Amino acid sequence: MPQLYSLTATEMRAALGAGETSARALVASALARIDAVNPRLNAIVQRCDEEALAQADAQDRAFAAGQALGPMAGVPVTIKVITDQAGFATTNGLRLQKGLMATQDSPVVANLRRAGAIIIGRSNTPAFSLRWFTRNSLHGATINPRNPDLTPGGSSGGAAAAVASGMGPIGHGTDIAGSVRYPAYACGVHGLRPSLGRVPAFNATGADRLIGAQLMAVSGPIARSIADLRLALTAMAVPDSRDPWSMPMPLIGPAASRRLALCIAPEGMVVDPAIRAALRQAADKAEAAGWQVEEVQPPPLREAVAVQLRLWLAEMRRTGGAAIYAEGDPDAIFVYENLCRHAPEPDLNGFMDLFATRSRLVRQWRAFFADYPVLLCPVSGELPFADHRDVASQSDFDAVIEAQTLQIGLPLMGLPGLTVTTGAVGETPVGVQLVADLFREDLLLDLGDLLGAAIPVVG
């Protein structure tokens, strides 16, 4: 039998239900894996060993007594340090918040626990969760387990590195501009950004977020199999009244036509030949399975990027700019100042105009999905970046922003997106992105099952 840590979450739960293993054995194997590889990778920065083993023992006693266990019973998971977990600091990678202790679980943490998932550690993020790279002055840098010269992605880089290397089969991440989808891509695993309102969010340790972040930021799972993403989404998506955007929507929507829009280079983006080839191969697979593939241009993306950045930075200037300088993290300062260069500060009328533009863009995108239920497109215009490229120079920063058009623009409309890793070029992962209308994660996962195989643990 393979090492327990190398199983997918779905396989772990099946083995537990069949009496082939125990929750303690599953957790102990994951903790031993952390001991073995985390000193090199620094993906997990807060450990939960004692609590995790106690929960595992409680599940084993309940199972022995004939009690039913939850759908994720015995499955070790990680939680990103941006999210409240009772008894742990919600650091967001900041020295300023190293003592910000949570006294209650956020909704997504509570939902995972309710499903039986066992939290074994908390994963790293860049300072302020501000980059597609993962390094901060409190916890240090996370290393990509597939290739240390590449970024592990960000801001959920710790989660993706942990999943890829076997430190838990499912990692919790958050995504306001690609922070689930891009780390999954960079570390060669799969990642799902759910729709706005699908997975409830709330941090009691912080003030309520302003409207832009409310509309764009979501929590979602990172995993080595599409089946595990489906399992985790089902657990995460239980509505919670603490989140005013939380919606009790069905996880399976009505039947949809099998029309797939293929977009190789949205709005003239420069797209690496290896990514173009991966998109063509994915389209061929879909067509062979009965999908009608049409190569089209999607609704505006660059305009969505401009609105997203202006909205995001307007709020950050008001609430976070001073904190960035107080924290003194050089990466965060460089990124913040360059983002400000890309996003002029609007006046009140300009701020209100952003929402009128957003409304039009949402309408255009939803009309597009009425014709084409799924869009197949790049995750990024480039293969995973060299680590810390964004802070190498102003021109490098600008190139990163351009390549990440699809990471930045799509969250403005609250849309779900799925990164599917499809292969590698040497030690560099390559994959594709699937996008659908609001609350149609089921379409993404169904097509993801076709395009993305279960991925072995690296290392």
Per-residue pLDDT tens for 364-423?
Answer: 999 999 999 999 999 999 999 999 999 999 999 999 999 999 999 999 999 999 999 999
- Mean pLDDT, residues 330-340 taken together: 98
**How deeply is 275 buried, as exposed, middle or buried, from its count of CB atoms within 10 A (0-12, 13-18, 19+)?**
buried
pLDDT digits (tens, 9 = 90+) for 48-94: 999 999 999 999 999 999 999 999 999 999 999 999 999 999 999 99
Please determine, for residue 1, whether its predicted confidence score (pLDDT) is greater than 80: no
pLDDT band at residue 190 under the 50/70/90 scheme: very high
Structural domains of the chain in order of their starting residue, each with its CATH number: 4-451 (3.90.1300.10)
Please determine, for residue 319, whether its predicted confidence score (pLDDT) is greater than 90: no
Is the pTM here over 0.85, yes or no? yes
In residues, how long is the chain? 459
Distance CA 103, CA 416 (A): 30
pLDDT for res 128: 97
Q: Contact, 246 vs 107, CB < 8 A? A: yes
pLDDT at position 459 over 90: no
Is 281 a residue whose pLDDT tops 80? yes
CA–CA separation, 76 and 13 (whole Å): 10
- Catalytic positions, please? 80, 155, 179
The phi and psi torsions of 41 (rounded to 5 degrees) equal -95, -30
| Rounded average pLDDT over 305-331 | 94
State the pLDDT confidence band at 2, using cuts at 50, 70 and 90.
confident
| H-type alpha helices, 264-347 | 273-288, 302-319, 321-327, 330-342
Shortest CA distance to 120 belongs to which of 79, 80, 158? 79
Residue 344: pLDDT above 80?
Answer: yes
Report how many helices (DSSP H) and strands (DSSP E) the chain contains, helices first. 16, 13
Q: For residues 140-160, give the mean pLDDT.
A: 98
Give the pLDDT score at 177: 97
pLDDT, position 454: 97
